[in-house]
């Protein structure tokens, strides 16, 4: 005959199975999110106005890691050395919630930035031609499609600094779309470095790049693709192999 404690035992067994299954679901979700973060992509919260009006402060952008990036793409990258200390553009630490989201891969850490790739390895980037346009490998860029414009329609200059650089092997030259508010590669052309010649930290190592941004996913009224401007299709590949070290002219360029 069944004993009086059998129903209680069955209840304990059901409770134990519930928590075991819950633990399996949680662990499985963490594994999946980690794999997605490592191999597929993750979200990035825009912390500053350096990419306006393409990206606004507090936009959430999806960054993918499956395909390579190219000239003209907007990319997220780890600080190549001292950029965040001077710009304050990194992701803010909002406490345990942000740290938890970072752990499961919904947001990256606080040492990441986002800019547009202007020069790939070997590219010669010059500011500016007689019409105040950047040139890359001799091709002038019409940047009106993405360059920041004030509320009254006045566009930013492509750059208020004159420079002539050749991007070294394994690195890229990046700039924000809101040029007057972006502490980008231009601002570090005179920085000292513990691991390379002066100005080397202005050129972001390709290994530091998380990947290209492909969509704004939040807020929902901003839902849209982040597109690569077609003007970059007109830029030819460099005619010579990239140098081992960057070529920077004139000396002393800085923001």
CA 122 remoteness from chain centre:
21
Q: Would you say 217 and 60 are in contact if contact means Cβ atoms under 8 Å apart?
A: yes
CA separation, residue 177 to residues 10, 90, 114, 196 (Å): 64, 16, 10, 28
The one-character DSSP state at 182 is: -
Whose tokens are 């202007």? That residue is 118
Q: Pick the catalytic residue: 48, 87, 115, 159? A: 115
Q: Pick the catalytic residue: 48, 50, 182, 200? A: 50
Q: Check whether the bond before 38 is cis (ω within 30° of 0).
A: no
Q: Is 50 considered catalytic here?
A: yes
Q: Would you say 184 and 165 are in contact if contact means Cβ atoms under 8 Å apart?
A: no
Q: Is 65 considered catalytic here?
A: no
Alpha-carbon distance of 215 to 224, in angstroms, equals: 6
Q: Check whether the bond before 228 is cis (ω within 30° of 0).
A: no
Alpha-carbon distance of 88 to 86, in angstroms, equals: 6
Alpha-carbon distance of 241 to 120, in angstroms, equals: 11
Alpha-carbon distance of 189 to 186, in angstroms, equals: 6
Residues 6+ apart with CB under 8 A from 147: 155, 156, 158, 177, 179
Q: Would you say 104 and 30 are in contact if contact means Cβ atoms under 8 Å apart?
A: yes
Instruction: Map residue 216 onto helix, strand or coil.
Output: strand
User: Among all residues, which ones are annotated catalytic?
Assistant: 50, 115
């Amino acid at each position: 005959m069944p004993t009086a404690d059998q129903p209680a035992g069955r209840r304990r067994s059901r409770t134990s199975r519930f928590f075991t299954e819950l633990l399996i679901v949680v662990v499985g979700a963490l594994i999946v999110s980690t794999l997605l973060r490592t191999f597929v992509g993750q979200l990035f919260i825009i912390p500053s106005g350096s990419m306006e009006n393409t990206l606004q402060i507090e936009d959430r952008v999806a960054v993918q890691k499956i395909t390579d990036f190219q000239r003209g793409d907007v990319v997220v990258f780890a600080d190549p050395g001292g950029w965040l200390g001077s710009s304050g553009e990194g992701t803010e630490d909002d406490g345990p919630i942000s740290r938890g989201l970072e752990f499961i891969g919904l947001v990256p850490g606080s040492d990441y930035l986002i800019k547009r790739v202007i020069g790939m390895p070997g590219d010669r980037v010059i500011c500016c031609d007689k019409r105040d346009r950047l040139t890359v490998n001799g091709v002038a860029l019409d940047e009106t499609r993405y360059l920041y414009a004030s509320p009254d329609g006045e566009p930013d200059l492509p750059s208020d600094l004159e420079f002539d650089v050749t991007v070294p092997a394994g690195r890229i030259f990046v700039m924000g779309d809101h040029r007057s508010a972006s502490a980008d590669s231009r601002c570090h052309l005179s920085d000292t470095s513990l691991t390379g010649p002066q100005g080397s930290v202005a050129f972001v190592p390709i290994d530091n790049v998380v990947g290209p941004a492909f969509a704004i996913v939040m807020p929902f009224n901003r839902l849209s693709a982040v597109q690569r401007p077609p003007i970059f299709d007109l830029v030819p590949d460099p005619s010579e192999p990239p140098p081992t070290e960057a070529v920077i002219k004139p000396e002393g360029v800085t923001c």
